[in-house]
Structure 1
Amino acid sequence: MKYKCIIFDCDGVLVDSEKISIGTMVAMAANIGVKLDEESATRLFLGKSLAFCFNYIQSHSDKKLPDNFEEEFRIRSFEAFKSDLKPIEGVHELLNQLEVPFCVASNGPANKIRLNLTATELIDKFEGNIFSAYDINSFKPDPGLYLHAAKTMGYEVKDCVVIEDSAVGVQAALSGGFDVFGFAQKTNQAHLEQLEIPVFDTMANLLKLLQ
């Protein structure tokens, strides 16, 4: 294998959480008069920090966001993760075949990453190698999170590849000097193809890219 270390994004790459998160955001925005359909919200929010999403909703509302808006979002989305979250199809099989170290690096807080990995029975594969932007206060598209993950894992940038599904995440990886492969699905394929990076649509195809 060309690479010595693989850095995975979490949401939309390891776990199929984006629909749950964005659906929760759309419902809560509607409660304060901001109407968004899920397709538009996906284009706007995919890969972005929670602060960006909340600021967008606030800027389109004539009401102040409730003080407990983030707390309520976490409660609602976490409950949905526990009952409805699924791993990305084929990801267990992919990870079982990898012969190099790998980790996860996400804009989400560590407790959310751990919850998602636990709910999808992936936590044992990433225990000890979980990196959150909240821990270092560096959020994609800043490359700091990926640089921190590579350094902590003990590898130089040139030895790592990042697996992403959002334009923001791809930008972070490229800014840090990493090779990056994009997981393309219906909602993000056009955006990823514009970035001129290798893309794949199944985990089996990712394995071929890695070899």
Structure 2
Amino acid sequence: MSRYKCIIFDCDGVLVDSEVIGNQVIVDLANQLGANIDLEYALQHFKGNSLENCMHQIEDLTDAPIPKSFESDYRRQSFEKFKSDIKPIEGIKEVIKKLKIPFCVASSGPESKIRLNLELTGLLPYFEGNIFSCYAVKKWKPDPAVFLWAAETMGFEPKDCLVIEDSPIGVQGALNGGFDVYGYTAHDYKDELQIKATKTFNDMIMLPMLMNC
């Protein structure tokens, strides 16, 4: 039996396969401003970051203030792409259906984005009422605030919870809060998670087995 009493899932790249979609939209918008970056750059520098942080990085790349419309343009265009292209992470539905302990989602994105992507992938009913957004606490990973809020609301101490993350920033945020964190490495192209995460795995179906180790 697992010693964990609750699982806190990240959303993008852990529950829904959205990282490439969202980052490509950022790349396209940034390149219109002269950033001259590609998707590989975005996945390395933007993945797991708040949109505000990404925007600051783009300002540094272009040496110019970012347009006020950037965030609204990103939300509109990414939501359109999510509606046509997003899929659940392979195996996640099967894992969730087998879980015998409470679970929730804690994400850097706004709740509207989290809810949209969970709804589009058929996952929303499993997380209704247990959605935690960094926008609500106004602190973003690697600050552990959203994880601590999720754990407290779910009724558990950090030591009793397991966080599932796919980005170095998210892993560090969980560690900063005193959580064990498993790194999902299916899209960890630079092998960045293994040196920090409590454990790593590259197939979601492996998660229940790992938890019982």
| TM-score category of the 2 structures, normalised to the smaller one | over 0.9
- Work out the CA distance in 2 between the residues paired with 1:2 and 1:85: 33
- Partner secondary structure for residue 182 of structure 1: strand
> Any stretches of 5+ residues in structure 2 without a counterpart?
none
Partner of 1:59: 60
Q: Is the 1:43–1:187 contact (alpha carbons within 8 Å) kept by the matching residues of 2?
A: no
Structure 1 SS opposite 2:193:
helix
2:45, 2:63 → 1: CA distance? 20
Partner of 1:181: 182
Query: What is the CA–CA distance in structure 2 between the aligned matches of 1:160 and 1:72, rounded to whole Å?
Result: 36
RMSD: 1.1
Change (3 A) 1:94 1:54: same
Where does residue 4 of structure 1 map in the other structure? 5
Equivalent residue of 1:191, what SS?
Answer: coil
CA deviations over 1:143-199 (Å, ceiling 9, x no partner): 111000000001111110000001111111111110110000243451001215300
Counterpart in the other structure of 1:75: 76
Aligned-partner Cα distance in 2 for 1:164–1:189:
15
**Contact 2:182 2:197 survives alignment (8 Å):** no
Q: Distance in 1 between matches of 2:196 and 2:131?
A: 27
Matched letter for residue 21 of structure 1: G
Cα pair 2:144 2:173 within 8 Å, conserved:
yes
Which residue in the other structure is 2:164 paired with?
Answer: 163
Give the paired residue count.
Answer: 211
- Give me the whole-angstrom Cα distance separating, in 1, the residues matched to 2:15 and 2:187: 17
Tell me the TM-score normalized by structure 2.
Answer: 0.96
Question: What TM-score comes out, normalization by structure 1 length?
Answer: 0.97
Specify the code of the residue in structure 1 equivalent to 2:147: Y
- Whole-angstrom CA distance in 2 between matches of 1:186 and 1:155: 30
Question: Given that residues 139 and 146 in structure 2 are in contact (C-alpha distance below 8 angstroms), is that contact kept between their aligned partners in structure 1?
Answer: yes
Using a 3 Å threshold, how does the CA distance of structure 1 residues 30 and 194 change in structure 2: closer, same or farther?
same
Aligned partners of 1:186 and 1:118: how far apart in 2? 23
Equivalent position amino acid for 1:11 in 2: D
SS in 1 for 2:163: strand
In structure 2, what is the Cα distance between the partners aligned to 1:159 and 1:78?
35
Q: Check whether the contact 2:17–2:86 (CA below 8 A) recurs between aligned residues.
A: yes
Cα distance, 1:188–1:165 mapped onto 2, change above 3 Å: farther
Task: Give, as a single letter, the amino acid of the residue that structure 2 aligns with 1:149.
Answer: A
Residues 148, 186 of structure 1: alpha-carbon distance in 2 compared, 3 angstrom cutoff: closer
Indicate whether 1:91 and 2:92 are aligned. yes
Native 8 Å contact 1:48 1:168 kept in 2: yes
Measure the CA separation in 1 of the matches of 2:154 and 2:122: 22
Identity %: 51
State the alpha-carbon separation in 1 of the partners of residues 196 and 137 from structure 2.
27
Asked if 2 retains the 8 angstrom alpha-carbon contact of 1:21 and 1:77, the reply is yes
